[in-house]
Amino acid sequence: MSKAFTKEVEQDDDEELSGGLSPLPAGSRNYMTPEGYARLRGEFMQLLDVERPKVVEIVSWAAKNGDRSENGDYLYGKKRLREIDRRLRFLTKRLDIAEVVDPSVHHGSDQVFFGATVTYANERGVERTVTIKGIDESDSLNGEVSWVSPIARALLKAREGDELSLHTPVGVERIEVLAVSYPAPKP
């Protein structure tokens, strides 16, 4: 068979299914809050226990209906099954290297660690509040940043009142840490 008819480039499963998430730094753990871990684990169990068996049943039924080359249920089912299996492999890798960190252990501290909610101001006096979370659980639209992001790396280990240098694409910006808070411990 000619190379023209073969698939030459295989996409990396992690890259394809990460939804644009930043890759983990080489050799590091996948830090997560207990809530983030529970969400990923819930997605994994939903795919494994509910969605995959349904799709397998549909594919099995469709395969019994004869000509598979023109059977939409069969073709779509096989495609969906590959997507589910790929996502399950991705989630397995992420959960295997997960290190669950409970931010409430730092409740009352004024130093920035994983899970902190930090309010800072730049040189122009513009205030912003961010919460430092895991790569798989951060949502910038809700003020959540990944622990590997430039702002989180600048803030980690700082204390209230510290002035820091934040390296941005347009240059170095000075920021001041105004407040640090953590969720209260659960009883």
- Domains defined along the chain, listed by start: 12-18+28-100 (1.10.287.180), 103-181 (3.10.50.30)
The reported pLDDT for the residue numbered 44 is 97
Cα dist from 40 to 14, 87, 100, 116, whole Å: 15, 11, 12, 21
Q: Quick: pLDDT tens for 65-83.
A: 877 777 788 889 999 999 9
Instruction: Give pTM, 2 decimals.
Output: 0.77
- Residue type, position 173, single letter: E
| Ordered DSSP codes for 82-129 | HHHHHHHHHHHHHHHTEEE--GGGGTT--B--TT-EEEEEETT--EEE
Burial call 95-116: b when 16+ CB within 10 Å, e when fewer: beebeebbbeebeeeeebbbbb
Regions in the chain scoring below 50 on pLDDT: 1, 5-21
Residue 15, token pair as written in the block: 């890259």
Tokens encoding 161: 């009142």
Q: Give the contacts of 79 (CB within 8 A, at least 6 positions apart).
A: none
What is residue 4's predicted lDDT score, i.e. its pLDDT? 53
The residue length of the chain stands at: 187
Cα separation, 84 vs 105, whole angstroms: 36
Residue 14 has a pLDDT of: 46
User: Looking at residue 15, what is its pLDDT?
Assistant: 46
Placement of tokens 């122009």 in the chain: 124
